[in-house]
A and B are shown apart, each in its own frame.
Chain A
């Protein structure tokens, strides 16, 4: 519980209606997109400007009250759960698109802007923000930057950090700093911008960002390539890339997912296939045609059973809707799901898939594989039930070994979800102590009272 006087101070800063303390509101801000990380804050505050954030931080720092910034709460790491109570800084009302600069292909946005709202607005000017976390319907720009989010388009366009030119940050002391800038090139001193990107809200509060944009490519084409063996599908990914075609998406769905999708929304996916790869190529129309032909040729040469080319935009959309429904299919079929986020160098995708298959056998579990094959970021999902102890224990063991496998194959334990609370125990295992120490020291310089999103990343 916070002091009454402090609550009224906050009310003076942001207005009464923007400070919530009712038990109902606190419950509603106790969770994120994960199942089991739940903790109520003491107060929820909705700032609408940098100055308000700064005033709140000064008070919080003086009183050593934990502050957890939260956008859409769509994250799946526990990252926006106020683990030590205190303040949830809800950024959803701080949500203006300040400027779209067509000349320089940049946009200036406030942290509460939802990615899909930005996408719809940019579309009017023929522009887009390439990183595409699949939570785009609810994810806010502040959260996307803090988690350095990515999505399917990573294979061609990369992730968030490649599209952030500069940010404005309120430090835990209340001081406002500007990192990076508005230019594409910038080598003035240490690259502090990129320490704040992916800091998961543990260093400061992002209050504005300068985004790099791309023009929307005029043409797109989708192919669905069918395989008898999921590992051969994995190999296809690098065969396509090494032959000079860079699709903007390469997504993998396995037999289990194909069949669940066909149950939910029959669109004619091959139910007997071991896996399908969905390719999308984009660019100028002539190039797109040629690239699609090339993908068909290469995948057939390296063992694809069948290549289906989407006839038109509606047909293509069907495949992508199916891909998006993949996770819902997984979550709908089990009480508890471990949705892993391991990422390996692309060439090792077949090894990781085979490891998942072995572990499914070894522990007698259902392990589903879907994900962004194009960038090596797979989401092996283990279906289990937390109330069935024996089953759950086996699932935990399998998950540990999948992560060990990913690291053994040169990969990382999280490609896009972040560490938050969910992956802390693995963080320690796979990161050198000196590196963790360096991170902790940086945190201590910027946030000496440890008030910014405490309890995250490290145990």
Chain B
């Protein structure tokens, strides 16, 4: 009998599925492909077949397990409350254990992303050569025509100066205020390399509100792309490094401006533990993690009406896109809406299917770009229906994909992080 350790851990969840098939309505991938292997019920059944010894990790099985955005729409709407995300992630982990990661992921995850310094060096290198990528508009570039088979992907350029190179280890509250609390700031890769401005802005915002902020340089990538791809070994290593980075800093909370990072840090305890001690450590860590959206409303208790709109956004119509990692992974949906609705000078319009995944799904969009574009197409329909000038969200991952698809569809909308809208 094969050792199916990672799958055994989630067998109880897989058993919960009663095969009603209601997930088909909610699954963005099924809605495009209309095939049973695309939907949670099919994937869950096949994973159970692996557990029963009737199915191997064939290339097709790898493809089936890989073709999931982990958007959790199925899980959130499952009458039997099957945690299909855990089943899929565990299946990927089991597969990596058995078959290895493959050369590209092995290099990207273990040699680059898992090593903060190396990741920085590679990002610098890419930044130095990004002039080779043609400009679409402003700070957005796209892949050149000679790599057409990868699609004409648009992406924001890497920042001139990364956040890590301009951030200080400690920020005191402004105007001589007594610190009301001390928080650790988790930068996250996208904020570090692409959007350092709103990282700095959030720190400024916190210190203005009497919060002392520490930014340890021993922190690493949150590991989302890595452990969601099934590389639990590297995932655990990063989890341990991040837990350690904030451990002795005596912080009340650890905050981040990236929805994926905040949910990933919270969920170490759910996906990764290999033993009881690890589980407890990750659970302790989880208690301190706050996404910027919940931190400013629920913890700092800033009233939505106290936010001030930046001048350049006056008179605009805005709509909100729910990142999966906020709305379903953390149940954060009311806080950003409360701010947007209260902001004087803009008009807020709710978009149809605001909680629909943008189609990014981390490395999903690398391997299934055509599907990503189709799924994003439905998101674009929702955005068009609002007539908004600006799509607001709070996840750099979503932002990158939304920008790409807004441009591909020749739409006029701009995409912004909520923190960019306020003073």
Least distance between B63 CB and chain A CB atoms (Å): 9
Interface flag for A202 (CB, 8 Å): no
Q: What separation, in Å, do the CA atoms of A9 and B191 have in the docked complex?
A: 54
Contacts of B23 in A (CB 8 A): 138
- Cβ contacts under 8 Å, A324 to chain B: 79
**Chain A contacts with B in 122-155, Cβ cutoff 8 A:** 135, 137-138
Of B53-61, B295-303, B372-380, B385-393, the one with at least 4 CB within 8 A of chain A = B53-61
B residues near A27, Cβ cutoff 8 Å: 45-46, 49, 54-55
Known contacts: A116-B25, A138-B22. The answer to whether A46 contacts B37 by CB under 8 A is no
Is B257 located at the chain interface by the 8 A CB criterion? Answer: no
A29 at the interface (CB under 8 A from B): yes
Given contacts A93-B34, A112-B34, A332-B16, contact A31 B60 (CB under 8 A): no
Within 8 A of A (CB), among B5-42: 16, 18-26, 34-37, 42
| In the complex, B249 has a CB within 8 A of chain A | no
A93 to B145, CA, bound (A): 34
B60 touches A22 (CB 8 A): yes
B64 at interface (Cβ–Cβ under 8 A)? yes
User: Judging by beta carbons under 8 Å apart, are B19 and A31 in contact?
Assistant: yes
Task: List chain A residues, Cβ under 8 A from B16.
Answer: 332
Check A34–B34 contact: CB distance below 8 A. Answer: no
Name which of A35, A74, A95 has the most chain B CB atoms within 10 A of its CB. Answer: A74
Check if A34 sits within 8 Å of B55, measured CB to CB: no
Give the docked Cα–Cα distance between A324 and B45 (Å).
Answer: 24
Say yes or no: A73 contacts B64, CB within 8 Å: no
A374 CB → nearest B CB, Å? 22
State whether A135 touches B34 (Cβ < 8 A): no
Residues 418-432 of chain A, each 1 if its beta carbon lies under 8 Å from chain B, else 0:
000000000000000
* B residues in contact with A22, CB < 8 Å: 60
Instruction: Please give me the residue from chain B that is nearest to A73 by CB atom.
Output: B21
Structural contact, B24 and A138, CB atoms closer than 8 A: yes
Contact A24 B45, beta carbon cutoff 8 Å: no
Contact present for A24 and B37 (CB under 8 Å): yes
Size of the A side of the interface (Cβ < 8 Å), in residues, is 34
User: Is B368's CB within 8 Å of the partner chain A?
Assistant: no
A73 pairs with B18, CB closer than 8 A: no
B21 touches A72 (CB 8 A): yes
Q: Digit string of A63-84 for contact with B (CB within 8 Å is 1, else 0)? A: 0000000001110000000000
- Asked if B21 and A138 make an inter-chain contact with CB atoms under 8 angstroms apart, the answer reads yes
What's the least CB distance linking B306 to chain A, in Å?
A: 29
Per the bound structure, the CA–CA distance linking A413 and B61 in Å amounts to: 40
Q: Please report which residues of chain A, range 11-57, place their CB below 8 angstroms from some CB of chain B when the two chains form the complex.
A: 20, 22-25, 27-29, 31-35, 46
The reply to whether B42 and A28 contact each other, CB–CB distance below 8 Å, is: yes
A328/B34 in contact, CB under 8 A:
no
A29 in contact with B36 (CB, 8 Å): yes
Contacts of B36 in A (CB 8 A): 25, 28-29, 73, 90
A-B residue pair count with CB separations less than 8 angstroms:
85
Q: Which of A24, A33, A138, A325 is close to B46, meaning CB atoms less than 8 Å apart?
A: A24
Residue of A nearest to B26 (CB): A137
Q: A331: CB under 8 A from chain B?
A: yes
A137-B34 CB under 8 A given contacts A24-B58, A28-B45, A328-B18? no
Task: For the complex formed, measure the closest distance between the CB of A316 and the CB atoms of chain B, giving whole angstroms.
Answer: 19
A162 to chain B, nearest CB (A): 25
Q: Once the chains bind, are B25 and A135 in contact (CB under 8 Å)?
A: no
Complex Cα distance, B22 from A92, in Å, reads: 14
Q: How far is the CB of B355 from chain A (nearest CB, A)?
A: 16
Contact call B25/A138, Cβ cutoff below 8 A: yes
* Interface: B152 (CB within 8 A): no
Taken together as a complex, chains A and B put the C-alpha atoms of A332 and B78 apart, in Å, by: 12
* A135 touching B37, Cβ below 8 Å: no
Q: Mark A326-365, 1 if CB is under 8 A from B, else 0.
A: 0110011000000000000000000000000000000000
| A181 shortest CB reach to chain B, Å | 30
Chain B residues within 8 Å of chain A by Cβ, number:
27
- Closest chain A residue to B23, Cβ basis: A138
At the interface, yes or no: A114 with Cβ under 8 Å from chain B? yes
A29–B35 Cα distance when bound, in Å, is 9
Q: Which of A35, A137, A325 has the most CB of B within 10 A?
A: A137
A327, B34: Cβ atoms closer than 8 Å: no
Residue A24 contacts which of B21, B22, B55 (CB distance < 8 angstroms)? B55
Knowing A27-B45, A28-B45, A46-B34, say if A332 contacts B80 (CB, 8 Å).
yes
User: How long is the Cα–Cα vector from A27 to B56 in the complex, in angstroms?
Assistant: 12
Q: Which residue of A lies closest to B49 (CB)?
A: A27
Q: Is the beta-carbon distance between A332 and B42 smaller than 8 angstroms?
A: no
CA distance A77 to B180 in the complex (A): 62
Contacts of A20 in B (CB 8 A): 35
CB proximity of A263 to chain B, nearest CB, Å: 12
Report the nearest B residue to A74, measured CB to CB: B21
Interface residues of A in 272-331 (CB under 8 A from B): 324-325, 327-328, 331
Known: A24-B37, A327-B79, A332-B80. A34 touches B22 (CB 8 A): no
| Bound complex: CA A35 to CA B18 (Å) | 7
Alpha-carbon distance A25/B34, docked complex (angstroms): 13
On whether the beta carbons of A95 and B55 are closer than 8 Å, the reply is: no
> Is the pair A74, B55 in contact by a Cβ cutoff of 8 Å?
no
Question: Which residue from chain B places its CB closest to the CB of A38 in the assembled complex?
Answer: B45
Asked if B19 and A32 make an inter-chain contact with CB atoms under 8 angstroms apart, the answer reads yes
Interchain CB contact under 8 A, B34 and A95? yes
Nearest A residue to B80 by beta-carbon distance? A328
Contacts of B45 in A (CB 8 A): 27-28, 31
Interfacial chain B residues near A24, Cβ < 8 Å: 37, 46, 55, 58, 60-61, 64
Residue from the list A28, A34, A72, A327 in contact with B24, Cβ < 8 A: A72
Residues of B within 8 A of A32 (CB): 19
Measured between beta carbons, the chain A residues less than 8 angstroms from B20 are 33, 74, 135, 138
- Encoded as 1 (CB less than 8 Å from any B CB) or 0, chain A from 180 to 207 comes to 0000000000000000000000000000
* Residues of chain A with a CB closer than 8 A to B54's CB: 27
Q: Is the CB of B46 within 8 A of A28?
A: yes
A-side contacts of B24, CB under 8 Å: 72, 114, 137-138
- The CA-CA distance from A331 to B15 in the complex, in Å, is 11
A416, chain B: closest CB distance, angstroms: 15
Name A71's closest neighbour in chain B (CB-CB).
B21
Residue of A nearest to B18 (CB): A331
Minimal beta-carbon separation of B74 from chain A (angstroms): 11
CB neighbours (8 Å) of B42 from chain A are 28
Alpha-carbon separation in the docked complex, A20 to B54 (Å): 19
How far is A332 from B37 in the complex, measured between Cα atoms in Å?
Answer: 24
B81 at the interface (CB under 8 A from A): yes
Contact, CB under 8 Å: A34 / B19: yes
Among residues of B, the one whose C-beta sits closest to the C-beta of A330 is: B18
For residue A93, which residues in chain B have a CB less than 8 angstroms away from its CB? 34
CB-based contact A35/B79 at 8 Å: no
Chain B contacts for A264, CB-based, 8 A: 81
Produce 1/0 per residue, A234-258, CB < 8 A to B: 0000000000000000000000000
Residues from chain B with Cβ under 8 Å of A331 in the complex: 18, 80
6 residue pairs of the A-B complex, CB under 8 angstroms, read A24-B61, A24-B64, A33-B21, A138-B20, A327-B79, A328-B79
List the interface of chain B (C-beta within 8 A of A). Answer: 16, 18-26, 34-37, 42, 45-46, 49, 54-55, 58, 60-61, 64, 79-81
5 nearest A-B pairs in the assembled complex, by CB-CB distance? A328-B79, A137-B25, A92-B34, A28-B36, A138-B21
Chain A residues proximal to chain B, CB less than 8 Å: 20, 22-25, 27-29, 31-35, 46, 72-74, 90, 92-93, 95, 112, 114, 116, 135, 137-138, 264, 324-325, 327-328, 331-332
- Kindly list 13 other residue pairs between chains A and B, CB separation below 8 angstroms, not including A25-B60, A28-B45, A32-B19: A20-B35, A24-B55, A24-B58, A27-B45, A27-B49, A27-B54, A28-B36, A33-B19, A46-B34, A46-B35, A90-B35, A138-B24, A328-B79
